[in-house]
Structure formats: C-alpha cells, structure tokens
Homo-oligomer: A and B are copies of this chain.
C-alpha cells in the first residue's frame, strides 16, 4: 500500500540509468571505465546499485554531457529555497 521509495531503490535506478546509457552507446563496462579513468569494478558496482561516491556519478554525467544540466537544476533548487521565506 505504502510503497515508499527507499535509498537503495534510488541507487538501483541510478545503476539502471547508467547501464542504459552505456548500452545505448554500445560500449562495454571496460571501455566506459577507461574513458572515465575509473576501474571496471566501480562501474559494475554503480550498475548494480552499490554505494559509490558523487565523484563517480558526476564523472559519468559529465561523460554524457549532463553535468551542466544537473548543475543548473541544483542551482535552481537552491535559489528557490533561499527565496522562500521560512514559515516559522
């Protein structure tokens, strides 16, 4: 009834996204790892939803030209929050 999203679910979804991006580009884990200067194990862990660092995911996002967009979204959220006066 209350299927709330858990942290592990989001990590799995991130992993699925990374795998989808990789497959869409038709490259192997090894090739992606090399172009990001990380190990294949790191790519593998991301894809299966293990814990990983923001550096790793941001490297991936940069590789697929999503870094600017993500940066913009975060900045927008920040401004929204700073503009919103506290209700208390």
Chain A contacts to B: CB under 8 angstroms: 4-7, 9-11, 13-14, 16-17, 20-21, 24-26, 51-55, 57-59, 62, 67-68, 70-71, 74-75, 77-78, 81-82, 84, 86, 88
- Supposing A52-B54, A54-B51, A55-B51 touch, asked if A10 and B71 sit within 8 A by C-beta, the answer is yes
Known: A51-B55, A54-B51, A54-B53. A74 touches B10 (CB 8 A): yes
Q: Is the Cβ of A78 less than 8 Å from the Cβ of B20?
A: yes
A13 and B78 within 8 A (CB): yes
Residues of B near A70 (CB, < 8 A) are: 10
User: Which residue of B has the minimal Cβ distance to A87?
Assistant: B24
Q: Tell me whether A62 and B13 are in contact (CB under 8 A).
A: no
Is B55's CB under 8 angstroms from A20's CB? Answer: no
